[in-house]
Amino acid sequence: MVGEYRDRMRVLAFLNGTLADPDQPHIRVEDLGLMRGDGIFETVLVADGEPRELRPHLDRLARSASMLDLPEPDDEAWQRVVRTVIDNWPGGGEFALKLVSTRGVAPGGEPTAFALGLDIDEKVFRARDEGVAVVTLDRGIDPGLAERAPWLLLGAKSLSYAVNMAAGREAARRGAADVIFTATDGSVLEGPTSNVIIARDRTLYTPPPAIGILPGTTQAAVFRGAERAGWSTKIEPIRAADLASADGVFLSSSVRKLTRVHTLDGVALPDSSAIHAELAQAYEDVYA
Ligand code: PLP
């Protein structure tokens, strides 16, 4: 795993603007982000030197901080450190920029906060081009739980992603590359690191964040682009049973952009490459 990261281009800067060597140790072993996954993060796509959807990402970071009772993030400091990493990024094209902030070494202590630029895995580019096979997996929650039990932090982008990562491994065991989580009532939630968008009769649908999922910055950008290109958009519950009959099923996230689902639970979906090409272009046009 270390080797995997060492082979990748990275730029690290702490929130105070100090650049640091990503190959050196920086985090104390008692850091609650490490000990308990107690912290928050964002992953921003940087394309041609510009961070995409930075405002919504920073707003969501602040929302996650509030849900975890963490101090309000210093918005200007985050904007500055984003610029520092971008200005020091040696390559061109696209990279992923992680913004991470933990509870620090003790409750009430200073957060450990840094921005880490990382180049994008070849697999992600391939998935954007070729699409992915996905399995539906039960998340074991019902759509009212987020509202009933805010302490479960559903819809916060916390560092506790062990379940999300485990779902990815279960997908691999089932011969798929990704996951769509479903609720106990059979409705669609989100992917472990993505939102779900379906297309039907030139309307895009995605489930509402209130059911306990992350409000996606990419999903919002795709909807903006699609509306400009003449599509209608709706935020409303989707049934898992609706996926197979849609004109297209897609996963959206900052780094994967809009990725087409070509196979669901081992069954090939109708070919949505033309719709995908159109929507992917509409999304890029948002930044043209
Ligand atoms: N849902 C979850 C659980 C995520 O982790 C992510 C991003 O990683 C998303 C949705 C998509 O969010 P965004 O489009 O803002 O990257």
- Length, in residues, of the chain: 288
Mean pLDDT of the chain: 96
Ligand 1 atom, smallest distance to 190 CA: 1
Residues with CB under 6 A from ligand 1: 43, 190, 193-195, 214, 216-219, 252-254
pLDDT at 278 over 70: yes
How far apart (Å, rounded) are the C-alpha atoms in residues 147 and 35? Answer: 27
pLDDT at 7 over 90: no
Share of the chain above pLDDT 90, in %: 94
Look at residues 22, 246, 233, 237 and name the one whose alpha carbon lies nearest to residue 114: 22
In this predicted model, what pLDDT tens digit does every residue of 48-98 receive, in sequence order?
Answer: 999 999 999 999 999 999 999 999 999 999 999 999 999 999 988 999 999
In this predicted model, what pLDDT tens digit does every residue of 160-190 receive, in sequence order?
Answer: 999 999 999 999 999 999 999 999 999 999 9
CA distances from 120 to 7, 99, 132, 277 (A): 12, 15, 17, 21
Ligand 1 atom, smallest distance to 252 CA: 14
Q: Show the beta-strand stretches assigned E in the chain.
A: 10-14, 19-20, 39-47, 50-51, 94-102, 113-119, 132-138, 178-182, 195-200, 203-206, 232-235, 248-253, 257-264, 267-268
- What's the CA-to-centroid distance between 27 and ligand 1, angstroms? 25
The average pLDDT across 28-42 equals 96
pLDDT at 21: 97
pLDDT at 2: 45
Query: Tokens for 121?
Result: 């895995």
Share of the chain above pLDDT 70, in %: 98
HEC secondary structure over 204-220: EEECCHHHCCCCCHHHH
The average pLDDT across 203-212 equals 98
How would you classify residue 76: left for phi > 0, otherwise alpha for psi between -120 and 50, otherwise beta?
alpha
- What's the CA-to-centroid distance between 125 and ligand 1, angstroms? 17
Look at residues 223, 148, 132, 143 and name the one whose alpha carbon lies nearest to residue 181: 143
- What's the CA-to-centroid distance between 193 and ligand 1, angstroms? 5
- Predicted TM-score (pTM) of this structure: 0.96
C-beta separation of 88 from 95 below 8 A: no
- What's the CA-to-centroid distance between 274 and ligand 1, angstroms? 24
At 6, the pLDDT band (50, 70, 90 cuts) reads low
- What's the CA-to-centroid distance between 181 and ligand 1, angstroms? 13
Ligand 1 atom, smallest distance to 45 CA: 16
pLDDT at 8: 80
C-beta separation of 97 from 51 below 8 A: yes
pLDDT at 108 over 90: no
In this predicted model, what pLDDT tens digit does every residue of 221-234 receive, in sequence order?
Answer: 999 999 999 999 99
- What's the CA-to-centroid distance between 58 and ligand 1, angstroms? 13
The average pLDDT across 107-128 equals 93
pLDDT at 1: 41
Residue whose CA is closest, atom 1 of ligand 1? Answer: 194
Residue whose CA is closest, atom 10 of ligand 1? Answer: 194
